[in-house]
A and B are shown apart, each in its own frame.
Chain A
Amino acid sequence: MNAEYAIETVQLGKTYVSRFRGRKIPAVSDLSLRVPVGVKFGLLGPNGAGKTTFVKMLLSAVHPSSGSAFLFGRNSEEPEARRPVGYLPENHRFPTYLTGNGMLDFYSALSGLSHTERKRRVPELLELVGLRDWGDVRIKKYSKGMLQRLGLAQALIHRPRLLILDEPTDGVDPVGRRHIRDILDGLTGTGVTVFINSHLLGEVAAFCDYAAIVDKGRLVLEGKISSLTAGRGYRIAVSNLSEQGLANLRQAGAVIVASTAGLEVQAATCEQANQFIDVIRAAGALVESVEVSSSSLEDVFIRATQTGKAA
């Protein structure tokens, strides 16, 4: 397998079998995905789409029923394949009897950091996530946002080459979210691959370069976010449109939205935009401007998950 990819899955699948009835429940099916080294990648999908199962298969917490997963070219089932990986799970439960220092020391020891290195890295990471004064406090006293930042410190402490974050800002207030975002932004240009599993589309759109959308365990869309959201429609600003003109436009199938400057007519394709412009001009109205509009990631997401195919 190719070490150019931080993550590579080949027809990865997981089918759970219910214990008593033996009923088969597919969670992930034939999912092939490649995440190049150094990119910021967002994995999106509705609840129950199989995102977390997919992430757990990458980390070998769940064994695949079919296919394989590779991290930097090594099979993820090998413990050594996980050495360059930092992971922040969703709904994590850190041992509450540990202090912030103790927790970071424990997990960094498991990640293979030497004692000397741990002594140096623990305060550095606490400083990075803004918990410098909390190192000696037991983590049962930490707020949700603090726990999330501590979890991020845990994921970063051994200088991973791949950071896998499962809902990293879930339940975190806007200030905490901003803090986490700043820390992740600090990784830009360091060559670290960031893989975010999130249902917060805005977050993925703002931070990631690439995204994949998973629905019902299958990959339905994948690509550069700029490509996915580009060239998706046209907005035509109109003034002096009569009632008759409005009716004609509606009849032609236009979506008309009131805007601060007047009316805005939305067209999905270039041909449709030209057809609407003809209707507008025939009604004696003025075309103030025509803009190519890009879809939001949310539009792309909804189209992809509703149609079950590439938008």
Chain B
Amino acid sequence: MTTEPVGGRALDTFGALISDTFQEARARWLFWGLFGLSTLLILIFLFVLKIDLVEGAISILGIERTAQAVSIQAFVRKSYSFISMFLYVWGTLLAIFASSGLIPSVLEPGRIALLLSKPVSRPILILGRYVGNVLVIALNHIYLVGAIWIIIGIKTHIWEPRFLLAIPSCLFIFSVLLCMVTLIGVVTESAALSVMVTVALMVISAILAQRQFVMRLLSSEWSRDLWRALYWIFPKFYDLATVMMHSILFDRNVEWITPLWTSTAFALVTLFGALFIFSRRDF
């Protein structure tokens, strides 16, 4: 057997797993479906959405402002932050639907046995899939957000690079939620259940984030403690969206560290759980 040094071999193996994920995404039409829907959205921005900048007055999304009434720069930023919020929700949902089948498909009998017979550790098999999945979605996010940024830039002549923060923001929350998709996929081998649980997680996380309001409604201390505990445990889907919007608006007072580390902790625990269960399972 002619083989490469161990480091090169490991990279080759990881590369092969990532490339396989791309090929499967393409063959299942997920790749083209995602890019098709993104293109549709880009075309809407390009042809349908009215954005005009004439002699110091700007109109975006049907709202008009003049230079006298408000800073045009600030107005564009605000518009960007709303658009980014829309892309955050839309892009994440789309990405979860597209990714849900990619873990269960690997676990099909007859396919997994052959993969496990190779000199590759079980965690690497799953991590290769995970990273491949994130890269597929990253490409789509770069395409979607980048194209919209260019369109708005050309139409308004205002180039606001902070809008591009939507790319890492969307990708980060997707990577966190993909850990849950992976966990459910590894445990149940069901794509549908992966979607159901992950979307439920998004919704519950958004509800839990309304804690200031809910605390006033809860009558007992233990229920408030439970709410707080759940809020800290769950990923911060809503809070991270708020962080993204405020970052685009140049708001320096936004608290971003807590949502970031708690969501990262959730992702790590969930992913390690998935890897642990996958390593222990019989196929």
Interface positions of A (Cβ within 8 A of B): 16, 56, 59-63, 79-85, 87, 89-98, 102, 105-107, 109-117, 154, 158-159, 164
Q: Are A109 and B12 in contact (CB under 8 A)?
A: yes
Interface residues as binary, B105-139 with A (CB distance below 8 Å gives 1, 0 otherwise): 00011111111111111000000000000000000
Determine which of A83, A91, A114, A158 lies in contact with B4 in the assembled complex, contact meaning CB atoms within 8 Å: A114
Q: Are A110 and B110 in contact (CB under 8 A)?
A: no
Give A174 to B111 CA distance when docked, in angstroms. 26
Interface positions of B (Cβ within 8 A of A): 1-4, 8-9, 12-13, 15-17, 19-20, 23-24, 26-28, 108-121, 280, 282-283
Separation in Å of the B116 CB from the closest CB of chain A? Answer: 4
Tally of A-B residue pairs with Cβ under 8 A? 107
* 4 further A-B pairs in the complex, CB-CB below 8 A; given A82-B117, A112-B13, A114-B8: A97-B24, A107-B118, A113-B3, A117-B2
Taking CB atoms, residues of chain A closer than 8 Å to B116 are: 59-61
Q: Are A110 and B23 in contact (CB under 8 A)?
A: no
Q: Are B282 and A61 in contact (CB under 8 A)?
A: yes
Interface of B is mostly: helix
Separation in Å of the B263 CB from the closest CB of chain A? Answer: 32
Determine which of A96, A110, A159 lies in contact with B1 in the assembled complex, contact meaning CB atoms within 8 Å: A159
Q: Are B111 and A111 in contact (CB under 8 A)?
A: no
Taking CB atoms, residues of chain B closer than 8 Å to A93 are: 108-111
Give A75 to B70 CA distance when docked, in angstroms. 72
Give A79 to B124 CA distance when docked, in angstroms. 11
Q: B27's closest neighbor in chain A, by CB?
A: A97
Given A82-B118, A93-B109, A63–B3 Cβ distance below 8 Å? no
Q: B17's closest neighbor in chain A, by CB?
A: A110
Taking CB atoms, residues of chain B closer than 8 Å to A106 are: 16, 19-20
Q: A105's closest neighbor in chain B, by CB?
A: B16
Give A79 to B4 CA distance when docked, in angstroms. 16
Determine which of A92, A94, A109 lies in contact with B16 in the assembled complex, contact meaning CB atoms within 8 Å: A109
Q: B281's closest neighbor in chain A, by CB?
A: A63
Separation in Å of the A197 CB from the closest CB of chain B? Answer: 12
Separation in Å of the A250 CB from the closest CB of chain B? Answer: 52
Q: Are A89 and B13 in contact (CB under 8 A)?
A: no
Give A113 to B110 CA distance when docked, in angstroms. 22
Q: Are A114 and B12 in contact (CB under 8 A)?
A: yes
Taking CB atoms, residues of chain B closer than 8 Å to A95 are: 20, 23-24, 111
Q: Are A111 and B114 in contact (CB under 8 A)?
A: no
Give A93 to B26 CA distance when docked, in angstroms. 18
A-B contact pairs, 17 of them (CB 8 A): A56-B282, A60-B117, A62-B283, A79-B119, A82-B117, A85-B117, A87-B117, A89-B114, A93-B110, A93-B111, A106-B16, A110-B13, A110-B17, A112-B3, A112-B4, A112-B9, A114-B3
Give A16 to B282 CA distance when docked, in angstroms. 10
- Nearest 3 interchain pairs by C-beta: A97-B27, A93-B110, A109-B16
Q: Are B117 and A109 in contact (CB under 8 A)?
A: no
Determine which of A81, A110, A114 lies in contact with B115 in the assembled complex, contact meaning CB atoms within 8 Å: A110
